[in-house]
Structure 1
Amino acid sequence: MSLLDGRRSVLFVHAHPDDETISTGALIAEYVARGSRVFLLTCSRGERGEVVAGPLTALAGTNELARERDRELERATGILGITERFWLGEAPARVDGLEARRYRDSGMVWLRPGLAGPADDAASDALSVAPLTEVAADIAALIVRLRPDLVISYDDGGGYGHPDHVRAHDATLAACEATGTSFAEVLEAPRADGEWFDLPGHLGVVTDALRAHASQLTVHGTEIVHSGGQREPIVTSTGLRLHPHTSPA
């Protein structure tokens, strides 16, 4: 059976606001169209994100940027049809009995075009340096609460190497193993042990959701232009690989 078929509910785990739309917006829209309840767990508020030139530029490096990215995420998830969204570290995505905490954006550096690596100034409360066991336990708390049929997040390279993406993958895999939940990794290219989906019918809704993330990107036709000027096509084709260390989907 396809990983798209018969899913009562699906949980997506992403590192920052806008990741859900950039890499999996079409996939989310497809699950919604098939009648699945789609939940989103966002691990950090993207406090260290660069800001596109324009009226929001002054928010860079301020606390207001996190609040703006929260508002942007609210708009984008509404457009995509997501049932409910959560912040990692806040109930119900927090171990019972522990005070709420905030996992901060770790930042990154470009090692070469298309490949990111850890920044050397990540804060002590950043996601990438938080104990893996704590991050995984908080994700597991939400999984136990929601009991999704499938959890989806990055591959083990975090898509393009961002340290927060890598930590989200590692912690999500550990949480799925602990709870006996199926875990699927997002693929950026077809491979023999995965499924590939071409979903051009969702281009319109993904484009609208991308426009909601106005502090981070602009949309030019069928391309995204990031704050640093990098261009990439809007993604409507993507794949999933069921991780062999988790239960069958």
Structure 2
Amino acid sequence: MTPVPRRRLLLVHAHPDDETLTTGGTIARYAADPDTAVTLVTCTLGEEGEVIPPELALLGPGGSDQLGGYRIGELAAACAALGVADHRFLSRPGRWRDSGMALAGHGVRAATPEHLHERAFARPEAFDEQVDALAAVLEEVRPQVVVTYPADGGYGHPDHVRAHQITVAALQRVPARLYFTAVGRSTLDAGLAALAEVADLPFRRPDTDELPTVPDDAITARIDVRTHRAARIAALRAHATQVTVWPEADGDAIAFALSNLVAQPLPDVEEFMAADGPGHDVDDLFAGAGE
């Protein structure tokens, strides 16, 4: 009989690719631990994402509107690269649609668009059903640790904000230790400084404060993901409609960019903030969490 993992980690992400962009190394680290079970919950199919490869542009909402179905396959490939065996869409695939976003001021800050699809994840009237659906997963899995976004969604995207809101609400019913994804200012600065030395980088280097960060002293946990770099890069490459990895050949990579073609580094740590406030600088999300 296969032993039941003692530790259980559950992550709540808004769209396919978010799991890799912000937590890919962390997922790979814990998925590789036989004593830890990893459950990934994805809330939408990412139907409103901007498609990077020109040959796939007609998949988008302005064309055949088949991007969500295509991204199911991308997500499955990313999960395989990261070692995720338990992936679930919230309620069921396509129950809630990517809400899209409007740009809001400087950098990549986002806001809720003026008009929302009738199935949009961010619609106010959908909240209670979404909380019920997530609470049901929590009841089944009983994780000791849950990861999602901070209150502003990291950069304001309405689906990230909603993922935060329903996670906080569901954990009122099924408690667990909660962490929020983050990038410390020093971590980003160090990564961008390294990219500044790259002569042939094909992406635009970000302006000051264009990419979201938090103060270093807000970071509670730093997870060393160097051992799982190859898995992270493979998962990023799997999300080819949304992410460009450079160099493009298989193997190691230096940077990636989304459809805005703004360069982002690949740091050797992924960082988190504990929901219950600043604490010790830990290197394991389960440190201090109930068994």
TM-score (norm: length of structure 2): 0.75
* CA apart distance, 1:206: 0.4
Structure 2 match to 1:143: 138
CA contact (8 A) 1:159 1:188 kept: no
Q: 1:130-169 CA deviation, whole Å, 9 max, x = no partner?
A: 4322211111011111111211111111111111000000
Deviation above 6 Å: which 4+ runs of structure 1? none
Q: 1:97-147 CA deviation, whole Å, 9 max, x = no partner?
A: xxx971110000121212111111221221111432221111101111111
CA contact (8 A) 2:45 2:94 kept: no
**Structure 1 pair 126–81 and aligned structure 2 pair: CA distance change class (3 A):** same
Q: CA RMSD in A?
A: 2.0
- Percent identity, aligned pairs only, is 35
Structure 1 match to 2:20: 21
CA contact (8 A) 1:52 1:228 kept: no
The worse-fitting range, judged by mean Cα deviation, of 60-69 and 211-220 is 60-69
TM-score (norm: length of structure 1): 0.87
* CA apart distance, 1:216: 0.9
Could you list the runs of 5+ residues in structure 2 that have no partner in the other structure? 185-215, 247-252, 278-287
Structure 1 match to 2:87: 85
2:161 to 153, 157, 166: 166
CA contact (8 A) 1:202 1:236 kept: no
* CA apart distance, 1:87: 0.7
Could you list the runs of 5+ residues in structure 1 that have no partner in the other structure? 1-5, 91-99
**Does 2:218 align with 1:224?**
no
Aligned residues: 233
**Structure 1 pair 136–235 and aligned structure 2 pair: CA distance change class (3 A):** farther
SS in 2 for 1:152: strand
- Matched letter for residue 234 of structure 2: D
The worse-fitting range, judged by mean Cα deviation, of 149-158 and 40-49 is 149-158
Structure 2 match to 1:97: none
**Structure 1 pair 7–127 and aligned structure 2 pair: CA distance change class (3 A):** farther
Structure 2 match to 1:58: 58
Q: Distance in 1 between matches of 2:83 and 2:72?
A: 16
Structure 2 match to 1:152: 147
The worse-fitting range, judged by mean Cα deviation, of 42-51 and 56-65 is 56-65
Q: Distance in 2 between matches of 1:89 and 1:108?
A: 22
CA contact (8 A) 2:31 2:83 kept: yes
**Does 2:173 align with 1:181?**
no
SS in 2 for 1:124: coil
Q: Distance in 1 between matches of 2:79 and 2:225?
A: 18
SS in 1 for 2:264: strand
